[in-house]
Amino acid sequence: MKHKIHVRGIRCYSFHGCMEEEARIGGHYVVDVTIDTDFSKAAASDELIDTVDYCAVQNIVAEEMAIRSKLIEHVGQRIVSRIKKELQGILGLRVEIHKLSPPIDGDTKEVSIVIEG
């Protein structure tokens, strides 16, 4: 079977961006992760070992978001790579990073990137 696990709204305060003030001041980000998996075994066993650990997903996101990058595209790729490398049972993955109130001309709520793979 194919199932989805969503870990949505991981809030981070990070220092990403090409502008020098972004490195000093930082900003608010929200990360959403969707994992395609088969958790049939976990549904039957009721054991964490048989599914994707949501805490591990959150920890990977928090650790990668803490490493300064100029581009959220770069951070997103690091998150995807680590989740695929470190977690079992990943059949598909979608990571979206929302940069809230980006420092661009005009009144913009957010910008975001999506990586699927």
**For residues 103-117, average pLDDT:** 92
Tally of CB atoms within 10 A around 100 = 14
For each of the domains in the chain, give its residue range(s) and CATH number, in order of start. Answer: 3-100 (3.30.1130.10)
Q: Determine the Cα–Cα distance for residues 83 and 79; give it in Å rounded to an integer.
A: 6
Question: Using one digit for the tens of pLDDT, what is the confidence trace for 18-50?
Answer: 999 899 999 999 999 999 999 999 999 999 999
pTM listed for this prediction: 0.95
**With contact defined as beta carbons under 8 Å apart, do 82 and 62 qualify?**
no
Question: Using one digit for the tens of pLDDT, what is the confidence trace for 59-103?
Answer: 999 999 999 999 999 999 999 999 999 999 999 999 999 999 998
Could you give the count of Cα atoms lying within 13 Å of 55 in the half-sphere of its Cβ? 2
Q: Using pLDDT thresholds of 50, 70 and 90, give the confidence band for residue 117.
A: confident
Indicate the DSSP class of residue 13.
Answer: E
pLDDT, position 1:
86
